[in-house]
Structure 1
């Protein structure tokens, strides 16, 4: 399950031609992340969030960088620290945007990271949280492609763990593809749109 969060999709946000200071700052933060400077990116996302006052999106990405970074390190203390900070950022994001499916999806990913890092400690408690968070996200936004795709991958991983066939969840992956294809564009800069680039990797479970 340690491949579940390879989601560096910042490049989709770098095509803005006319940018204000917020957009320039966010683009710079994604650039830092793409240059393998996660902590600098996190610090910039946090500074932007504090300047924006009531914008959940910079906090969301600060959390995402922490979560994804844990999959590339082995130091237990650092992993625990990053996941705690990631949760703190998501809590901040939630204060400005309640009942937000994207925040719930990211929190499900954070709990997945706990399970992947130390299944013997977190498997029982956090697995239930992952399932609950995806179910809540899908109830809020039934055609959210990230909720559908990531939930399918989570269930595939669980099926493998229990010796069951992960192919049972392949129709959910196909459903996610349809949701990606018809995902509506909105005018909110940097609103989450990631995930389509993960479909091919997840479909390996269907062969």
Structure 2
């Protein structure tokens, strides 16, 4: 009987403790996101981006319905991958990136920004073994960007990643600057009127655009 009473007391206490936990504080969430984004905006090294990814992962786990922490975790892994030289480690980082893209899409289906990251991940897997990976990842790039463009034709990052894809594709396979430039110029036009949805929404890409325009217009 004492055991039953003790169990009942424990369950009651647990219920009270759960009820006492306050709901998510929107202001704290906003502040945590802004600080974390600020850190990756100034990050330079793989290690700094991995630290940023870990911060966004913690926020994403605490904010189970928000897609933006998952988005920024995935983006941070993309930036870390770009600074990794070991092919095996690149794939491992991109696996983590894909996991967070998938998490974000479960929270915000067909989100154009997340679809851009899905295309980026596939794009970054190709150089590891281009001849054997094109059949698998080439369609992922095209399908993801087409759906992203359908969801939000005004998103300049869609055209930016299209342009990057053609830039890195050899001319003999239908790529090169001549094919990339119209997409890069389209992205440039769209950026003139682009306004991020909030202080924690995606707002990257202008420096990348300037880099590729410089390469293709020189």
Shorter-chain TM range is: 0.7 to 0.9
2: CA distance, partners of 1:161 / 1:73: 28
Question: Which residue in 1 is equivalent to 2:118?
Answer: 107
2: CA distance, partners of 1:193 / 1:126: 26
Equivalent position to 2:69, from 58, 70, 74: 58
TM-score (norm 2): 0.78
Equivalent position to 1:28, from 27, 32, 35: 35
Structure 2: stretches of 5+ with no match in the other structure: 1-25
Q: Higher relative CO (CA 8 A, sep ≥ 6), structure 1 or 2?
A: 1
Alignment of 1:57-96 (within 5 A): 57-96=68-107
Question: Which residue in 2 is equivalent to 1:156?
Answer: 167
| Structure 2 residue 127 is the aligned partner of structure 1 residue 116 | yes
Summarize the Cα distance change of 1:164–1:193 in structure 2 as closer, same or farther, 3 Å threshold: closer
Q: Which runs of 4+ in 1 moved over 4 A?
A: none
TM-score (norm 1): 0.82
| Structure 2 residue 154 is the aligned partner of structure 1 residue 147 | no
Summarize the Cα distance change of 1:53–1:173 in structure 2 as closer, same or farther, 3 Å threshold: same
RMSD: 2.1
Summarize the Cα distance change of 1:84–1:185 in structure 2 as closer, same or farther, 3 Å threshold: closer
Summarize the Cα distance change of 1:161–1:205 in structure 2 as closer, same or farther, 3 Å threshold: farther
Equivalent position to 1:132, from 121, 130, 143: 143
Once the two structures are overlaid, the 10-residue window that deviates more, 68-77 or 106-115, is: 68-77
Equivalent position to 1:198, from 192, 196, 208: 208
CA radius of gyration, larger in: 2
Alpha carbons 1:167, 1:206 under 8 Å: kept? no
